[in-house]
């Protein structure tokens, strides 16, 4: 099975999220994904990178985020790697949108958005490295 891998490394700052969105869009369009799928990929990847910036690195822009696009005939995967604080799937509780609305809270739905837009979302902590893989199947 043939595959191609493309890598982008950005500083952990929201100023570079547009670069990541363009990178993902370029490779998804080249792989002939539908416009709807490309849009969903961009939103999910933006959320994942924003979570790394805000939660893993606590807004410290002296670190890097590595973004790999892996294109296979049957799928498009974006792998986001960082060396910040790990995300624990075991302690994560999906927020109640109605409770947040009643309290006037904004944000907090990144993981939920990624899971709804992608066909597969996986998190792994390996030593000092964290990895989030977002996959969209054809």
Question: What is the C-alpha separation between 108 and 103, in angstroms, rounded?
Answer: 13
pLDDT tens digits, 3-28: 999 999 999 999 999 999 999 999 99
Reference 46, options 132, 137, 138; nearest CA is 132
pLDDT at residue 102, rounded to an integer: 66
pLDDT value of position 110: 86
| Structural domain span for residue 51 | 4-137
Ranges of the chain whose pLDDT falls below 50: none
Q: What angle do CA 81, 86, 88 make, to 5 degrees?
A: 120
- CATH, residue 103: 3.30.565.10
Q: How many domains does the chain have?
A: 1
Alpha helices in the chain (DSSP H): 17-30, 35-51, 97-103, 110-117
């Amino acid at each position: 099975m043939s595959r191609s891998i493309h890598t982008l490394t950005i500083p952990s700052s929201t100023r570079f999220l547009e670069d990541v969105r363009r990178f993902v869009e370029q490779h998804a369009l080249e792989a002939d994904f539908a416009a709807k799928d490309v849009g969903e990929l961009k939103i999910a990847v933006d959320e994942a990178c924003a979570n790394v910036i805000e939660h893993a690195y606590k807004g410290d822009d002296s670190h890097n985020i590595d973004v790999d696009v892996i294109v296979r005939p049957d799928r498009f995967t974006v792998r986001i790697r960082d060396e910040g604080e790990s995300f624990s799937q075991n302690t994560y509780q999906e927020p109640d949108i109605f409770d947040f609305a009643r309290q006037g809270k904004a944000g907090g739905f990144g993981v939920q958005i990624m899971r709804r837009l992608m066909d597969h979302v996986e998190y792994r902590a390996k030593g000092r490295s964290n990895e989030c893989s977002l996959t969209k199947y054809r």
